[in-house]
Chain A
């Protein structure tokens, strides 16, 4: 089945220790998104790629970076995680040519714990 895959599902890191979360997709969608979702809150868009074009949200901290080496993969790098960065990180994809651009398909998420 075509899908959005996130690894790892759970990640524990230490305060200030860099961490990388990964997302891959078999949907061949041209847009990939990263969201941060804290407990009982709405998902918050961090940035998205339209093909190779990177689009950063104005309020996304510089501590968060992203890479998209090819269509299938996208990475979220947190350079110096703080306690406030503990959250669920969601990857999503959408396809410009396949219907409303805003129809986004989400992966299962990576839950990040910062000690």
Chain B
């Protein structure tokens, strides 16, 4: 069993839709939870990070962590074609990141 599981998609939505991306994990020692966005043939770009259970909002993006269920989510409101990318969840312990496989998102105009 992988430490971090993420549905690879692909996920295709119309412009303006609300997108929900999810990851589950097995290691309860993970301390920080992050979401990275990776455009095709580019390096990952940090979107958001959280430390505790609960919600964190940044513009159209909301990160949600439920430590009791070992489940994290990223919500994108009013999705735009420019949001089309692969979204990677990442979790950390002791200075190392463990990434999910990434979910490929396509937002159609």
Contact = CB atoms under 8 A, between A and B. Distances in A.
A20 interface: no
A100 B93 CA distance: 11
A45 to B, nearest CB: 6
B41 interface: yes
Interface in B10-53: 31-32, 34, 36, 41-46, 49, 51
A6 B42 CA distance: 11
Interface residues of A, number: 25
Interface residues of B, number: 24
Contact of A105 (B8, B32, B46): B46
Given A102-B32, A102-B92, A42 B44 contact: no
Nearest to B32: A102
Interface of A: 4, 6, 31, 40-43, 45, 48, 50, 88, 90, 92, 94, 100-109, 111
23 contacts: A40-B102, A40-B104, A41-B101, A42-B4, A42-B99, A43-B88, A43-B97, A48-B95, A48-B96, A88-B41, A100-B49, A100-B51, A100-B92, A101-B92, A102-B32, A103-B34, A103-B46, A104-B46, A105-B46, A106-B36, A106-B43, A106-B46, A108-B43
